[in-house]
């Protein structure tokens, strides 16, 4: 898909496509330390819940790799410290914590006498497995989700839940890709998604590279397109899904869900089961990151808001389960009531 790698391991470094520079430039950032990986997550060089999970896992592997020469205890210590540091980067996407847990389990499950180099190799293997499993999950999700799309349809999506937001292929955009691969005629409307414009910059870029028809719209234009009958359904990703089916996702998602309900349109969420947080009873337990005012006040060096004005910049919102038509995961499509259907999917581990 598209011929780019969102995140990879090359020559002992974690390499990420620098998403801040898209669509103007396709450049790769090489991280040589955990601090650089943490900073890349924090500053959104890489973003999207599953991609953040992959980056965090590779960050732990990078720390272990760097401590190889210092012996097995140093490797263990470096991995544990890295996980602690990476857990502090962003609070909302649960995939980050899920991936760090997997890395810790891999570390703990290694025999005590495992050599330093073997331990580091094992952690790297686990991190790359997390990424590759994510890609496979997205392809499976795509297959399952594509069945929900009519043979010809116009799909609204918000933010970027594509190859750039994941190990590859994408969640919401994976559903669209799979539908197109199945021969369906899909046109996509991409909310530009202020403040960071992931729809305009990233979704339009990656769908364009795959030759999928995409039209960028200001976030405020989605409602009138729905009223005009020009949108058939919406599909978005998720940063964390609570046990009851409440969905945290990029700010503006809840608005899309309300608009879908009020126009009688399906609102689908596509996310791997690593996005489920069964410890959260509802969306109220999901921490919502507030980001800085500069993301709203400044674009390309232009000052858009008077310096003395206050600004609110919540990075995510919560869509209540009652507005979600279905949740598409790699293990199946969950329908309301989600308390039961999501729990069933989680029991159904392959």
Catalytic residue set: 239
> How many angstroms separate the CA atoms of 87 and 82, rounded?
8
Instruction: List the one residue from 314, 322, 335, 337 that touches its own copies (CB under 8 A).
Output: 314
> How many angstroms separate the CA atoms of 312 and 71, rounded?
48
Region binding its own copies by CB under 8 A among candidate stretches 70-78, 236-244, 246-254, 326-334: 246-254
Q: Is 264 left (phi over 0), alpha (psi -120 to 50) or beta?
A: left
Considering the complex, state which of residue 298 and residue 348 has its C-beta at the smaller distance from its own copies. Answer: 298
Instruction: List the one residue from 43, 105, 215, 348 that touches its own copies (CB under 8 A).
Output: 215
Instruction: List the one residue from 163, 214, 265, 342 that touches its own copies (CB under 8 A).
Output: 214
Instruction: List the one residue from 64, 67, 175, 251 that touches its own copies (CB under 8 A).
Output: 251
Closest to 9 (Cα-Cα) out of 127, 95, 117, 166: 127
Tell me if residue 4 falls in helix, strand or coil. coil
| CB 16, CB 28: distance < 8 Å | yes
Binding to its own copies (CB under 8 A) within 7-66 occurs at 23-24
Rg for the chain, CA atoms, rounded: 20
Considering the complex, state which of residue 307 and residue 350 has its C-beta at the smaller distance from its own copies. Answer: 307
Closest to 174 (Cα-Cα) out of 316, 9, 50: 50
Considering the complex, state which of residue 196 and residue 328 has its C-beta at the smaller distance from its own copies. Answer: 196
Is the CA virtual torsion 184, 190, 196, 201 positive or negative? positive
Considering the complex, state which of residue 278 and residue 303 has its C-beta at the smaller distance from its own copies. Answer: 303
Instruction: List the one residue from 81, 297, 339, 343 that touches its own copies (CB under 8 A).
Output: 297
Instruction: List the one residue from 69, 278, 304, 344 that touches its own copies (CB under 8 A).
Output: 304
Region binding its own copies by CB under 8 A among candidate stretches 3-11, 62-70, 102-110, 255-263: 255-263
| CA atoms lying within 13 Å on the CB side of residue 174 | 31
Instruction: List the one residue from 299, 336, 339, 346 that touches its own copies (CB under 8 A).
Output: 299
Based on the shown chain and the rule CB under 8 A, indicate whether residue 197 belongs to the binding site for its own copies: yes
Q: Which residues contact 129 (CB under 8 A, 6 or more apart)?
A: none
> How many angstroms separate the CA atoms of 171 and 50, rounded?
9
HEC per residue, 159-196: CCCEHHHCCCCECHHHHHHHHHHCCCEEEEEEECCCCC
Based on the shown chain and the rule CB under 8 A, indicate whether residue 268 belongs to the binding site for its own copies: no
> How many angstroms separate the CA atoms of 202 and 179, rounded?
20
Query: One symbol per residue from 132 to 171: x for binding its own copies (CB under 8 A), - otherwise; what is it?
Result: --------------------------x-------------
In this structure, what is the dihedral angle of CA atoms 37, 39, 40, 45, given to the nearest 10 degrees? 180
Based on the shown chain and the rule CB under 8 A, indicate whether residue 208 belongs to the binding site for its own copies: yes
Instruction: List the one residue from 113, 312, 349, 350 that touches its own copies (CB under 8 A).
Output: 312
Tell me if residue 238 falls in helix, strand or coil. coil
Region binding its own copies by CB under 8 A among candidate stretches 66-74, 78-86, 113-121, 214-222: 214-222
* Total site size for its own copies, rule CB under 8 A: 58
Residues that bind its own copies (CB under 8 A): 23-24, 158, 189, 191-195, 197, 200-201, 204-205, 208, 213-225, 227, 250-255, 258-259, 261-262, 296-297, 299-306, 308-314, 317-318
């Amino acid at each position: 898909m598209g011929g780019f790698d969102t995140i990879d391991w090359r020559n002992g470094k974690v390499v990420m496509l620098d998403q801040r520079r898209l669509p103007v430039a396709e450049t790769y950032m090489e991280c040589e330390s955990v601090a650089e990986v943490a900073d890349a997550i924090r500053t959104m060089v890489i973003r999207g819940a599953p991609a953040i999970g992959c980056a965090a896992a590779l960050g732990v592997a990078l720390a272990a790799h760097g401590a190889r020469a210092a012996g097995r205890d140093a490797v263990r210590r470096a991995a544990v410290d890295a996980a602690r540091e990476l857990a502090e980067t962003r609070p909302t996407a649960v995939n980050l914590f899920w991936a760090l847990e997997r890395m810790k389990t891999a570390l703990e499950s290694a025999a005590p006498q495992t050599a330093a180099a073997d331990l580091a190799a094992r952690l790297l293997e686990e991190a790359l497995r997390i990424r590759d499993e994510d890609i496979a999950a997205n392809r499976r999700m795509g297959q399952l989700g594509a069945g929900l799309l009519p043979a010809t349809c116009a799909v609204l999506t918000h933010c970027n839940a594509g190859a750039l937001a994941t190990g590859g292929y994408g969640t919401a955009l994976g559903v669209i890709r799979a539908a197109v691969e199945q021969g369906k005629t899909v046109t996509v409307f991409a909310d530009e998604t202020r403040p960071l414009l992931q729809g305009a910059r990233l979704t339009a870029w990656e769908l364009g590279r795959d030759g999928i028809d995409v039209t960028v719209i200001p976030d405020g234009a989605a409602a009138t397109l729905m009223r005009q009958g020009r949108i058939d359904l919406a599909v978005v990703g998720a940063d964390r899904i609570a046990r009851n089916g409440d969905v945290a996702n990029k700010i503006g998602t809840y608005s899309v869900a309300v608009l879908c309900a009020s126009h009688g349109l399906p609102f689908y969420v596509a996310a791997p089961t690593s996005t489920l947080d069964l410890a959260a009873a509802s969306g109220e337990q999901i921490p919502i990151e507030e980001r800085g005012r500069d993301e709203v006040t400044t674009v390309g060096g232009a000052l858009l808001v008077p310096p003395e004005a206050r600004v609110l910049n919540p990075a995510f919102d919560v869509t209540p389960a009652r507005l979600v038509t279905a949740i598409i995961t790699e293990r199946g499509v969950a329908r309301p009531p989600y308390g039961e259907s999501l729990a069933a999917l989680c029991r159904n581990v392959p």
